[in-house]
Amino acid sequence: MPSPAMPTTAILLLAAGSSSRLGRPKQLLPYGQGTLLRHAAQTAIAAALGPVIVVLGSSAPECRETLLDLPVKLVTNPRWQEGMGTSLACGMQSVSEADHKAVIIMLCDQPAVTAAMLRALVQHQHQQSHLHGAGCSMVVSRHDENGTLGPPVLFAAQHFPQLRLLQGHEGARALFRQQPPAELGYLPCPEAAFDIDTEQDVAALAHR
């Protein structure tokens, strides 16, 4: 892990949703040697970028049980039913500009995302700084050739105040849509396109 004296990149793992489309908690779906949520948390830990903060909400007690032995900080969003924006804002209360140079937002239902992909977001930002003298302050995953963008996403510390103000269903997507092109980086990440929303997705997950 990075030295505690050095600013790190925190990882904020969002796992508070009710899985309304699926009809049962996707966080608790069996995957690997545990659950989908545990796999995501282990991926974040393996990236070794900084602290991992997991935001819980729906089925929080059961989700907490699957993570108790892992070195993550667990926070519960009491307003999780109001939308993802509240979970982002809740988690960001544990991410300070003084201790963290950036935060990566990831979701618990993208099982093909790897620790290497998370590290690549940071590396891409560093490369942009070296090439252009000023790093892009956001790096977004590009999911396909059509330019579909989404998580995982990196935000530099200058955006922390905006993230703490998100409300309702307003996710981080609104922020990178407003970002000047010169300050926005794109990282090809087709694996992130696979997420779990339906029973068909669950069936596909079983074959991985």
**HSE (CB half, 13 Å, CA atoms) of 7?**
12
Q: What is the reported pTM? A: 0.91
pLDDT at 129: 62
pLDDT at 114: 96
CATH level 3 topology of 8-206: Spore Coat Polysaccharide Biosynthesis Protein SpsA; Chain A (3.90.550)
Stronger pLDDT, 172 or 162, i.e. the higher one: 162
Which whole number is the average pLDDT over 63-87? Answer: 94
Closest CA to 173 of 66, 95, 94, 83: 83
Give the helix/strand (H/E) hosting 56.
strand 52-56
In this predicted structure, the answer to whether residue 3 has a pLDDT above a threshold of 60 is no
**Rg of the chain, C-alpha, whole Å:** 16
In this predicted structure, the answer to whether residue 157 has a pLDDT above a threshold of 70 is yes
In this predicted structure, the answer to whether residue 2 has a pLDDT above a threshold of 60 is no
pLDDT at 7: 73
